[in-house]
Structure 1
């Protein structure tokens, strides 16, 4: 590896507020995950690296020490440092069911596997200090104080000043929505078409009328958004503005301001689902604005693991207090021991996020490359999230889903994401599986479409 190759691969690696050695080590690790630096190559000598990057040799030595401790480089006495992937960084992101290891690739849900080593370490730390918690009643009310503080600090660090009393812990976003619906009792909810199916099922079960607003990979239809808010006056709006599920669209600042204006005009409580917010695959990730005065819900399901049933709700302190005293709150809150595990993970989540973003970015680009240039479908490469949203140009989606199943690929049809049963030409195609499995996904989709042509 030459100095020029290293400098080019690292790009603008300095980060405000982060020590140079830490920032340099992180940049080297990210470049290795992205494939910009070849694993197995030897890094240039410390003095040459320092000169090329314009830093002191001491900074380079400190960065190499971090990389060595975290398993990114192997250094032998008298020879150069060799770049490698630590075992936990090389772990798969896709769960077993989506990896195709048992013959069937199940992509009906876009979910990640747990970061095994990190999660197990968090479990051990949580177990070691669970004594005081186990001595209590097991009722956590609005949530463990330390977890509420950690989440409040994350909001504050992102520019939204938040106090712990503005955060309520739930067992996931569905629980947060169920609690809000039970407290606010809306007659109608404005929802995106398409959107995540589980909230739709929850609203329907509660007898709430759904009012749709069209979203595509290009963004939100503002005319339909206005009509939806007018029809849902006095009720709720459930939106996913950040890497919308399933389209991957990112709501622009102008649309967010329009939403806030419409909400005030029609007395609609906007609920922003931020489950996908941390899966920003832009290079580098950029700050994201929020819809003013919206109630925010989020969870660890997409960033950590769906089996960690911990979510949160951020809103005005008065609303949080009301929700905490609602009769349903106790049954919709997260198990105390899982809250303790979540506290351990959220205390230092950035390494997990860096790994996931880099791997997902690489997998997204690989799958997009396999599918691009084919006139049987259209798609836009999403700036974040977990999936491609494919529009079939002439084929029936139900037939493609059936034929794909015969080739060992389970897919979710677009109709399952629509409140009005539209999107009948769309497929959600997660890019969570490893590269080799994505090759099989593309081949199976090709076969399914050829079968229909035949």
Structure 2
């Protein structure tokens, strides 16, 4: 890059709270993370950079030393310094937005960062064998045969015999749900309260009636579930039985059998969202029996990266065939090149999952330890998933979220997860950030909730 390009990318980088070298190093790191400076590009010579930035050569040398120590640049003798991402930025679970590298710590989305090394290797392998795909029309249809076979094999290995023709590839779990909803056209949908917010918005936009049933960290209210299925008779149920979002609850086997009986009795089509299923943080992770007769949707968003827009439907072959001919199938399909990348990653997913589970378990336990024993909130340590579900005992969640925002922490309040706008005293608190960030999150939450009552402390 030229010296003028460097100066333009950094903009107004000086800060009153830091020395010039530290501020310059931070600005280069920030510009690299958000794409203003390209990874792999060579920085200008020190004298030219100093002249363009209006600082001494010594300041540039000192900033390069900081960047080199922190892993942002690679300098070889006789060569220019080359930008790279440090290990801390490429191995962590949380995206940069959830760490506060560009301002506020944004925990409104419970999503992981991409596994840089694994993803980049998968992209290269996919590109090397993309020739046959590039020779086709580019229309996705029901999905690449290789990816459908791979997913079918994964279901079969977990005890659910599946053929490739029972799999339809989409551009994510939300697309899978939207396609199913457009095909089934339910007049009413039974949903958990609380549940993942995005599907609620989709159902509301289509004018579908929502019927709620209560779920907590302790489990599902089966009486309410019966009533919801009865009201939604002939329609659909959208459930997240595996590490439910946002409560983290895991539906017991007996409850799954009850759901299947209720679905048959009331002619309700159960759609089970399995996007959290692989994020099993128990000491001995093991697949749990699925809800008999349910349609399954999954995606790579929570286990790999939300930017990998690949999801799927698993159901009867006849239904999958009908979905493949639906007018919305093509616009809701994943690009064939994305499917190639997903195939490479899913083929050897277990090592990646093992590393992510280990990191998430450590971060979950750390955040839980920081928050334990405080009378201002209650929570259960979830057996899986990405977040704690806090019930505030003295404050409304929207007020706490507003105070936290003023201190640089963005949180989601409970009503956004509830079809009936309840849960005004709940917060979803993702534990995806690294431990140092979780320490800051706990501090801000402490300040946003006001002083702890020593008389009521547990």
TM-score by length of 1: 0.80
Structure 1's 377 and 450: CA in aligned 2 closer, same or farther, altered over 3 A? same
Question: Alpha-carbon deviation of 1:451?
Answer: 7.1
How far apart are residue 87 of structure 1 and its match?
A: 5.3
Partner residue in 2 for 1:209: 209
C-alpha displacement of 1:132: 1.1
User: Does the Cα contact within 8 Å between 1:88 and 1:115 map onto a contact in 2?
Assistant: no
Matched, 1:290 2:290: yes
User: Shift of the alpha carbon at 1:439?
Assistant: 0.2
When residues 448 and 88 of structure 1 are mapped into structure 2, their CA distance, relative to the original with a 3 A threshold, is: closer
Structure 1, residues 237-294: CA drift from partner, whole Å, max 9, x if none?
0000000000000000110000000000000000000000000000121221100000
* Counterpart Cα distance in 1 of 2:119 and 2:298: 19
TM-score normalised by L of structure 2: 0.79
> Counterpart of 2:359 in 1: which secondary structure?
helix
Aligned to 1:177: 177
5 Å-filtered alignment, 1:220-369, equals 220-369=220-369
2:97 paired residue number: 97
8 Å CA contact 1:194, 1:418 repeated in 2 = yes
Secondary structure of the residue aligned to 1:450 is: coil
In the other structure, the counterpart of 1:111 is 111
Q: How does 1:363-382 map to 2 (within 5 A)?
A: 363-382=363-382
Find the aligned partners of 1:447 and 1:194 in 2 and give their Cα distance: 26
Match in the other structure for 1:443 = 443
Measure, in 2, the Cα distance between the counterparts of 1:437 and 1:89.
13
> Do the aligned partners of 2:259 and 2:291 also contact (CA within 8 Å) in 1?
yes
Please tell me whether residue 163 in structure 1 is matched to residue 163 in structure 2.
yes
CA positional deviation for 1:101:
2.0
Residues 286-319 of structure 1 show CA distances to partners (whole Å, capped at 9, x for unaligned) of 2211000000000000000000000000000000
On the 8 A contact 2:90/2:115 being kept in 1, the answer is no
In the TM superposition, residue 102 of structure 1 has moved relative to its aligned partner by 2.6
Is the contact made by 2:90 and 2:116 (CA closer than 8 Å) also made in structure 1? no
* C-alpha distance in 1 between matches for 2:177 and 2:348: 27
Structure 1 residues 246 and 297, CA gap change in structure 2 (3 angstroms): same
In 1, the alpha carbon distance for the partners of 2:232 and 2:434 equals: 42
| Compared CA separation, residues 118 and 88, structure 1 to 2 (3 A) | farther
- Report the alpha carbon displacement of residue 378 of structure 1 after superposing the two structures with TM: 0.1
Q: Quick one: distance in 2 between partners of 1:125 and 1:415? A: 44
Q: How many residues align?
A: 368
Deviations 1:155-208 (A, max 9, x none): 000000000000000001111111111111100000000000110111111111
- Equivalent residue number for residue 12 of structure 1: none
SS in 2 for 1:330: coil
Q: Partner of 2:327: helix, strand, or coil? A: coil
Q: What is the Cα deviation at residue 91 of structure 1?
A: 1.0
Q: Is the 8 A contact 1:240 1:274 kept in 2?
A: yes
Report the Cα distance in structure 1 between the residues aligned to 2:357 and 2:173, rounded to whole angstroms.
Answer: 22
Contact 1:403-1:451 within 8 A present in 2 as well: no
Cα displacement (A) at 1:89: 11
User: Which whole-Å deviations, capped at 9, do the CAs of 1:55-102 have from their partners, x for residues lacking one?
Assistant: xxxxxxxxxxxxxxxxxxxxxxxxxxxxxxx95998111000001223
Which 5+ residue runs of structure 1 have no aligned equivalent? 1-85
TM-fit CA distance, 1:357: 0.2
* Alpha-carbon distance in 1 for matches of 2:113, 2:170: 21
* Change in CA separation of 1:438 and 1:88 when aligned onto 2, cut-off 3 Å: closer
Q: How does 1:120-131 map to 2 (within 5 A)?
A: 120-131=120-131
Shift of 1:450: 1.6
Of 202-211 and 363-372, more deviation after overlay is shown by 202-211
CA 1:452 to 1:198, structure 2 compared with 1: closer, same or farther past 3 Å?
Answer: farther
8 Å contact kept, 2:367–2:438: yes
Q: 1:64 — aligned with what?
A: none
> Does the 8 A contact of 1:310 with 1:334 survive in 2?
yes
CA deviation profile, 1:317-358 (whole Å, cap 9, x unmatched): 000000001111011110110001000001100111000000
Q: Distance in 2 between matches of 1:182 and 1:194?
A: 23
Moved beyond 6 Å, runs of 4+: none
Shift of 1:452: 10
Check whether the contact 1:400–1:452 (CA below 8 A) recurs between aligned residues.
Answer: no
Alpha-carbon separation, structure 1, partners of 2:267 and 2:450: 50
5+ residue gaps, structure 2, are 1-85, 454-458
- Aligned partners of 2:336 and 2:101: how far apart in 1? 34
Preserved contact between residue 403 and residue 448 of structure 2 (Cα < 8 Å): yes
Contact kept? 1:88, 1:117, Cα under 8 Å: no
1:376-415 pair list within 5 angstroms: 376-415=376-415
Deviates most, 299-308 or 444-453: 444-453
The answer to whether the 8 A contact 1:88-1:116 is kept is no
Distance 2:435 2:224 in 1: 38
Once the two structures are superposed, what CA deviation does each residue of 1:82-137 show, in whole Å capped at 9, x if it has no partner? Answer: xxxx9599811100000122341100000000000000000000011111111100
Report if the CA contact (8 A) 2:415-2:423 is conserved. yes
| Distance in 1, Cα, partners of 2:129 & 2:89 | 27
Deviates more, 1:96-105 or 1:300-309: 96-105
